[in-house]
C-alpha cells in the first residue's frame, strides 16, 4: 500500500445492484492515477474487504453505499463514480407511459408466459407471490427468501397449477431460451430438472458436446428437495417434462437431498425414464429402470447410453511441464456450490469454499461475474497446495474470465486445476479460454469430476 491519499464516501440508503457496482469499480480502477477503488454496498463482507485494503470505513448499515478510492486525486475519482452511478439512475427516453412498478400491475397490463424475479431478497417473496396469484409460473433468481416463504410460495403454486423455479435459481432454459446463467445449447431430447444451477450446466454442457442436446432445463432452487420444502417444484417439473413430447429422457440433479423427499419425488408414475444424480447420497431409488449416477459426468454418460448414443472422451488440456514441489493438500475455490460439493466428494479430501454462497454474494456480484475474491484466494495459496476451481462460461457469466483469472493463476505458487464448464457455442470461446488458462500453468478439464480426480492424484 502506497501513501496516496484516499476518500471514502457513504451514501445512506442508495441502493445499486451488484453488477452495476462491479462495473463502476472496474472503470474507476482503470483511470490514470487510481491505485485502488471499490464501489459496493456496505455489507459486512465488503466492509471487511475495504479495511483489509487499508481504507478507513466509518460506521455504516448494509443498505448504505460505499465509494472508496485511493488515488492521486481521490475526490475527482469519487466524483467520477457518482457521475457514472447517476447515469445508471437516469431514466431512458422513449414512451411517456409509466412503466409498471409491481409484478401484479405488469401481469395485468399484458400477456406473459413467465415472471422472472431478480430483486433484493427481502422483496423477492412479494413479487413472486404476485406472479403466482396472477396464475403465472415464476423463476426467482434472487436469494434471501426464507425456507418458510419458499414453502408457502410452492404450496400456493400447487393450488394454482404453476411452477416455481427457485428461489436462488440461477439457471433455466425453456424452449431454447436461456434464463439467468445460461450456456448456448443445441436442442435435443434430454430434459433436466435441477436443484442446482451449475450442476445443470455441467450435465447439459457435456450432453451438448456429445451431440445429444437439451429440450428444457427447469431449475427448482437448491433447497427444493430438503425436508422443509418437500420437493414440491421438482415433482411438478418432472411431471411437466413427462408430458412434453420433445423430451425423451430426464436427468434429475440435486445437491444432497432429504432421502424421504428424493424417494417420494422419484416414486411418481412417469412414462419418461429418469437418470437421478443425487450427490452425496447412496442409491436411494430407481426411476424408469435407470440407476442413480454417482456424479454429474456419470449422469451425462448414463443419459447418452440410455439414448443409444456413444460416450465421447471429454476434452482436457494438461498443464505445461514444470518443476514445483509435490503438493500436500487440495484447496477448492468454487463459484458453483454443487460443483464444489461434487469435487469435494470425488477428491475425498481438502478444504472447499463456495464463493457463490449467500455469505459472499450479499452486496457483491456472483463470482461467475466478479472474480475478485477468488483471485485474492489464489494469491494466498501456497506452493504445496493444489487449487481446484471451476470456471463457468455462458450468457450472464464473465465475458472473459481468463482475462482476470489467468494472471492470478500464473502468479500463484500453487498447482492449479480448472474445471471449465461451457459449450462450443458460448460467447467466451471455450477453446480460447482453455488455451489461456493452460498457458498460465493450469491443467484444464471439461469434466469437473475428472478435474477432481486429477487433483486427488497430485496429492
Are residues 214 and 363 located together in one domain of the fold? no
Are residues 345 and 412 located together in one domain of the fold? yes
- Cell numbers at 141, concatenated: 433468481
- Cell numbers at 160, concatenated: 394454482
Within a domain: residue 125?
Answer: yes
Cell 478444504 belongs to 351
The confidence score (pLDDT) of residue 353 equals: 97
Are residues 162 and 258 located together in one domain of the fold? yes
Asked if residues 175 and 216 have their Cβ atoms less than 8 Å apart, the reply is yes
Within a domain: residue 82?
Answer: yes
**434 phi/psi in degrees, rounded to 5:** -60, -40
Within a domain: residue 83?
Answer: yes
**38 phi/psi in degrees, rounded to 5:** -150, 125
Are residues 184 and 43 located together in one domain of the fold? no
Q: Is 312 helix (H, G, I), strand (E, B) or coil?
A: coil
Are residues 84 and 188 located together in one domain of the fold? no
Domain finish residue from 55, 89, 123: 89
Side by side, which strands form the sheet with 274-278?
177-180, 171-174, 214-219, 187-194, 249-254, 274-278
Nearest residue to 78 (alpha-carbon basis) of 131, 127, 10, 144: 10
The rounded distance, in Å, linking the Cα atoms of 82 and 95 is: 27
Within a domain: residue 94?
Answer: no
Are residues 404 and 321 located together in one domain of the fold? yes
What distances in angstroms separate CA 348 from CA 329, 450, 458, 459, one per listed residue? 11, 13, 13, 11
**Number of structural domains, the chain?**
3
Are residues 374 and 288 located together in one domain of the fold? no
Within a domain: residue 209?
Answer: yes
Domain finish residue from 274, 307, 340: 307
b/e string for 92-125 if b means 16 or more Cβ within 10 A?
Answer: eeeeeeeeeeebbebbeeeeeebbbbebebeebb
The confidence score (pLDDT) of residue 111 equals: 82
Tell me which residue range forms the domain holding 423.
316-458
Domain finish residue from 67, 89, 111: 89
Are residues 199 and 281 located together in one domain of the fold? yes
Are residues 284 and 359 located together in one domain of the fold? no
Within a domain: residue 217?
Answer: yes
Are residues 302 and 323 located together in one domain of the fold? no
Within a domain: residue 97?
Answer: no
Domain of residue 46, CATH code = 3.30.70
Within a domain: residue 79?
Answer: yes
> 320: which DSSP letter?
P
Cell 445508471 belongs to 88
pTM (2 d.p.): 0.87
Domain of residue 383, CATH code = 3.40.50.261
Beta bridge partners of 416: 387
pLDDT tens across the length of the chain (459 residues): 567 899 999 999 888 888 788 889 988 988 999 998 999 999 888 898 899 889 999 999 988 999 999 999 999 999 999 999 988 766 554 556 777 878 888 888 878 899 999 887 888 999 999 999 999 999 999 888 999 999 999 999 999 999 999 999 999 999 889 999 999 999 999 999 999 999 999 999 999 999 999 999 999 999 999 999 999 999 999 999 999 999 999 999 998 899 999 999 999 999 999 999 999 875 554 544 567 789 999 999 999 999 999 999 999 999 998 767 788 999 999 999 999 999 999 999 999 999 998 888 877 888 999 999 999 999 999 999 999 999 999 999 999 999 999 999 999 999 999 999 999 999 999 999 999 999 999 999 999 999 999 999 999
Are residues 115 and 85 located together in one domain of the fold? no
Are residues 70 and 192 located together in one domain of the fold? no
The confidence score (pLDDT) of residue 285 equals: 47
Amino acid at each position: 500500500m502506497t501513501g496516496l491519499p484516499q476518500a471514502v464516501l457513504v451514501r445512506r440508503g442508495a441502493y445499486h445492484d451488484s453488477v452495476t457496482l462491479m462495473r463502476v469499480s472496474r472503470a474507476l480502477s482503470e483511470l490514470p492515477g487510481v491505485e485502488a477503488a471499490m464501489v459496493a454496498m456496505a455489507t459486512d463482507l465488503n466492509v471487511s474487504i475495504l479495511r483489509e485494503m487499508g481504507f478507513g470505513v466509518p460506521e455504516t448499515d448494509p443498505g448504505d453505499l460505499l465509494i472508496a478510492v485511493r488515488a492521486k486525486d481521490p475526490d475527482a475519482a469519487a466524483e467520477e463514480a457518482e457521475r457514472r452511478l447517476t447515469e445508471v439512475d437516469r431514466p431512458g427516453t422513449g414512451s411517456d407511459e409509466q412503466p409498471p412498478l409491481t409484478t401484479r400491475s405488469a401481469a395485468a397490463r399484458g400477456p406473459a408466459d413467465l415472471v422472472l424475479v431478480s430483486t433484493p431478497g427481502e422483496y423477492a417473496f412479494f413479487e413472486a407471490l404476485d406472479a403466482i396469484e396472477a396464475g403465472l409460473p415464476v423463476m426467482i433468481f434472487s436469494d434471501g427468501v426464507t425456507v418458510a416463504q419458499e414453502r408457502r410460495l410452492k404450496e400456493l403454486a400447487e393450488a394454482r397449477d404453476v411452477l416455481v423455479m427457485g428461489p436462488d435459481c440461477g439457471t433455466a432454459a425453456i424452449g431454447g431460451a436461456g434464463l439467468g446463467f445460461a450456456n448456448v445449447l443445441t436442442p435435443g431430447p434430454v430434459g433436466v430438472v435441477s436443484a442446482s444451477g451449475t450442476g445443470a450446466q455441467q450435465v447439459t454442457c457435456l450432453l451438448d458436446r456429445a451431440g445429444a442436446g437439451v429440450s428444457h432445463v427447469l431449475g427448482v432452487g437448491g433447497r427444493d428437495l430438503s425436508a422443509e420444502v418437500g420437493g414440491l417444484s421438482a415433482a411438478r417439473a418432472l411431471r411437466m417434462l413427462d408430458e412434453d413430447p420433445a423430451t425423451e429422457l430426464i436427468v434429475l440433479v440435486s445437491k444432497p437431498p432429504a432421502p424421504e423427499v428424493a424417494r417420494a419425488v422419484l416414486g411418481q408414475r412417469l412414462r419418461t425414464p429418469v437418470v437421478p444424480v443425487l450427490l452425496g447420497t447412496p442409491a436411494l431409488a430407481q426411476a424408469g429402470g435407470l440407476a442413480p449416477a454417482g456424479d454429474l459426468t456419470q449422469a451425462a454418460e448414463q443419459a447418452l447410453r440410455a439414448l443409444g448414443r456413444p460416450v465421447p472422451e471429454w476434452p482436457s488440456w494438461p498443464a505445461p511441464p514444470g518443476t514445483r514441489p509435490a503438493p500436500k493438500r487440495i484447496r477448492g475455490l468454487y463459484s458453483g456450490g454443487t460443483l464444489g460439493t461434487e469435487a469435494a466428494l470425488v477428491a475425498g479430501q481438502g478444504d472447499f469454499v463456495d464463493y457463490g454462497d449467500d455469505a459472499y454474494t450479499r452486496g457483491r456480484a456472483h463470482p461467475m461475474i466478479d472474480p475478485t475474491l477468488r483471485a485474492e484466494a489464489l494469491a494466498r495459496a501456497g506452493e504445496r497446495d493444489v487449487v481446484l476451481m471451476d470456471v463457468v462460461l455462458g450468457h450472464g457469466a464473465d465475458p472473459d474470465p481468463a482475462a482476470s483469472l489467468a494472471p492470478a493463476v500464473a502468479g500463484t505458487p500453487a498447482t492449479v486445476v480448472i474445471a471449465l464448464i461451457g459449450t462450443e457455442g458460448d460467447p467466451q470461446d471455450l477453446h480460447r479460454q482453455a488455451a489461456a488458462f493452460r498457458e498460465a500453468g493450469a491443467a484444464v478439464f471439461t469434466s469437473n469430476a475428472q478435474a477432481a480426480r486429477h487433483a486427488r492424484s497430485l496429492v
